[in-house]
Every structure is written in C-alpha cells, then in structure tokens.
Amino acid sequence: MNTHARSKQRRETLRRKKHYQRVRFFELRKKALKGNSAALGSLKEYELMMQRRLSFEFKCRAGVAGSVRILNQRQRRKRARQTGKWG
C-alpha cells in the first residue's frame, strides 16, 4: 500500500472512530437523561477525557504525532536558548 492510500485509509478509520465516539456519546446522554447513574458516570469521564484531549490539541494545533513533534521542538529551542544557540 502506498503512502497516499495509507493516509487515506487512516483518515477513514479516524473518521469512523470519531463517528462511533459521537454515537456512543449520544447513547450515553440519552440513558443519563433517563436517570441511568452508570451512564452518567461514564458521561462525566468522557467529558473529562475530551476536555483533556482538546486542551492538548489546542496547545499544539496539530495532529497527535505533529503535536508531540512541536512540543519536542519547543523544548529543544528552550534548551538551545539556555545554551545560547538560538537567541
């Protein structure tokens, strides 16, 4: 499989995963509104997870692989600044 096809497939799987996440979220919300306490708990957990992920994504403004790279780059720059390579 060439790179283009692979990235296309990856996009598809991600899209599907996100879709199912949303479906699960709506199902949970429906159950929680009916008064299912277990669903309410998992809904809270889900919200926390999403908040964490969003804050991470906003910090990095890139995909997960890119985000780690950007964070590493920042740390490298910081270290270099201390040693006097950049700025």
User: What is the number of domains present in the chain?
Assistant: 1
Residue whose pair of structure tokens reads 């890119």 in the numeric block: 66
The pair of structure tokens assigned to 3 is: 């790179």
Which residues lie below 8 Å from residue 81, measured CB to CB, with a gap of 6+? Answer: 87
d(CA 38, CA 79): 47
Angle at the Cα of 23 from the Cα atoms of 46 and 31, rounded to 5 degrees = 70
pTM for the whole structure: 0.44
Torsion of CA 26, 62, 16, 24, to 10 degrees: -20
Range of the domain at 74: 3-83
| pLDDT in single tens digits along all 87 residues of the chain | 788 888 888 888 888 888 888 888 888 888 888 888 788 888 888 777 777 766 655 555 545 555 556 566 777 777 777 666 554
